[in-house]
Structure 1
Amino acid sequence: MNRITSSKPQIFLLHYAGGDRNSFRPLIEELQAYFQIETPELPGRGDRMSEPPLKDKKEAIADVLEQIKRTRQKDVPYLIYGHSMGAILGFELCHAMEKESDAPVHFVATGYPGPGIKDTPPIADLPKTEFFAEVKKLGGISDEVMQYEELLDFFEPLLRGDFGLLENKTNQTPDIKIQTPIYAVMGKSEKYALNIRNWAKYTEAACECQIVNGNHFFINQNFNYLSQVIKNLMNTATVK
């Protein structure tokens, strides 16, 4: 099926653990008039529910990279945005796209302080009660979902798969820096929010960091702010 091309810049939205292509719906509604919105999705969820979840971060990066290349319209600029797991994957995806000589104009990372900061024991194989207690403590699931047992049952295998993917010790974040500018945002009550300037060590370009009110899911209350940030970054990049 042929894609309809557009002159609008592209934005690739990378979902968090347990998320899918619909995780950013309010943000998409704010941005769709200005961007071609691309929503790569990992197997085991959403439109790819029938596919087995990936268990290796390298496989996840390769999978999303293939989706980006397939939908990338090279005559327009683009930006990569990822939240939490999406930010972890997005950092290495920026590096991969730089090697393809098709770097994004900016990388927006939210809900993650950059490589080398988080030091938490693996949780993917914990019993259900302990697992969800740790997920909640890490800010990996919203309070709304925690209230409904049927939702926990639905999300449990997906969350276990995503956390297991990230906890796999054979594929930790490589010692790299990207050439792409970074804009990082975290919620004030996130455990590692005060470490957000760590991102500056991982780019050769500019790095701006902000802390806003909220927890790990501050994005749900701050989509207007995030959409304005993204529009401003793209406008600044394209007028240079």
Structure 2
Amino acid sequence: MEELQSQFQIETPELPGRGDRMSEPPLKDKQEAVADILEQIKRTRQKEVPYLIYGHSMGAILGFEICHAMEKENDAPVHFVATGYPGPGIKDTPPIADLPKTEFFAEVRKLGGISDEVMQYEELLDFFEPLLRGDFGLLENKNNQTPNIKIKTPVYAVMGKNEKYALNIRNWANYTEASCECQIVNGNHFFINQNFNYLSQVIKNLMNATTAK
């Protein structure tokens, strides 16, 4: 992260219920979440300065729609990097947000949404439970389904080979009119922890290729 920060300005928007906004109630409407992040981007955005959007898992779902929104404002990112998500339209698992705690975490674990280390500590499960239920509830709400849209931004997608839908990663090509590069690396949903240097290099290469033009 330090190497990236030394070369680029990095902004990390936070949704209500997380980080410095922990005291705020989590959002249940995806469009509200997209609008919230868009507002944060616009507050720090310097027009004419190239930028990319990166999102992991739910962040990739939101990032896709944020790219589309920024395109409509003629301020598109130069690239969209999505990890831990195979793109819209893939048939997902049955809803789990309202399952009892034990069943809920068993399903989250199957999906690779929580590490084995966290599963060992009840106090950590208590901490993450409302956040995870909020995330899954937001995504499972039928009113929050991703619209059938395509972006004009190039996509670079990465998934861990042990993720459930890793073999569907080429699905991203159906949702961009630009180029789409897909990679599968070793690991599960948390592959970013073991492949941070790789992802950092991907981001640097994409940004440097843009500024070199």
TM-score by length of 2: 0.98
Deviations 1:138-189 (A, max 9, x none): 1111222111110000110111111101111012010100000000000011
Equivalent position of 1:33 in the other structure: 6
Q: Structure 1 217/118 Cα, relative in aligned 2: closer, same or farther at 3 Å?
A: farther
Give, in whole Å, the separation in 2 of the partners of 1:125 and 1:30: 41
| 2:176 maps to 1:194 | no
SS at match of 1:82: strand
Give, in whole Å, the separation in 1 of the partners of 2:120 and 2:203: 32
How many residue pairs get aligned? The number is 213
Equivalent position of 1:227 in the other structure: 200
Of 60, 63, 86, 2:59 maps to 86
Equivalent position of 1:205 in the other structure: 178
* Unaligned segments of structure 2, at least 5 residues: none
Q: Is the 8 A contact 1:56 1:171 kept in 2?
A: yes
Q: Structure 1 52/90 Cα, relative in aligned 2: closer, same or farther at 3 Å?
A: same
Deviations 1:176-223 (A, max 9, x none): 000000000000111110110000010010000000000000000000
Deviations 1:80-138 (A, max 9, x none): 00000000000000000000100000000000000011421111100000000001111
Q: Is the 8 A contact 2:138 2:144 kept in 1?
A: no
SS at match of 2:75: coil
Q: Is the 8 A contact 1:30 1:224 kept in 2?
A: no
* Unaligned segments of structure 1, at least 5 residues: 1-27
Give, in whole Å, the separation in 2 of the partners of 1:121 and 1:152: 21
Deviations 1:23-64 (A, max 9, x none): xxxxx3331111101000000121001111101111111111
Q: Is the 8 A contact 1:183 1:207 kept in 2?
A: yes
Q: Is the 8 A contact 2:14 2:21 kept in 1?
A: yes
SS at match of 2:36: helix
Equivalent position of 1:97 in the other structure: 70
Q: Is the 8 A contact 2:84 2:189 kept in 1?
A: yes
TM-score by length of 1: 0.87
Higher helix share: 2
Equivalent position of 2:116 in the other structure: 143
Which 4+ runs in 1 deviate beyond 2 A? none
SS at match of 1:112: coil
Deviations 1:5-31 (A, max 9, x none): xxxxxxxxxxxxxxxxxxxxxxx3331
Equivalent position of 1:53 in the other structure: 26
Sequence identity (%): 91
Q: Is the 8 A contact 2:156 2:181 kept in 1?
A: yes
